[in-house]
Amino acid sequence: MCEYEDMMLPGIFVLHKKGYLELIVSRVGFQGEYLEDLWEWMSGTAEGFGSVVESNWMKTWREVCRRYSEIKDGLD
């Protein structure tokens, strides 16, 4: 279970509603039909680090955080 689901789930929902999520998930490996296949893909298992296994939810959230960090660093 995600330690920060109170931030991750609403954040991913807002990105979906704003139209940004499709680009993000495509960058982390989603290849299906966005509206038809996305939520099933999100619940699937992504590649982890060594013996750590994570869901595609976490893989997507990590990409969101990475991009946010890049933007924030560019503003400083």
| Structural domains of the chain, count | 1
pLDDT recorded at residue 2: 62
Domain range for 40 is 5-75
Which residue, 58, 73, 52, is CA-closest to 5? 58
Q: Is the pLDDT of residue 1 over 60?
A: no
Read off the pLDDT band of 5 (50, 70, 90).
Answer: confident
What residues contact residue 36 under an 8 Å CB cut-off, 6+ apart? Answer: none
Q: Is the pLDDT of residue 35 over 80?
A: yes
Q: Choose between 18 and 3: higher pLDDT.
A: 18
Beta strands in 1-71 (DSSP E): 45-46, 54-55
Q: How far apart are CA 6 and CA 13, in angstroms?
A: 12
Q: Is the pLDDT of residue 36 over 70?
A: yes
Q: How far apart are CA 57 and CA 12, in angstroms?
A: 9
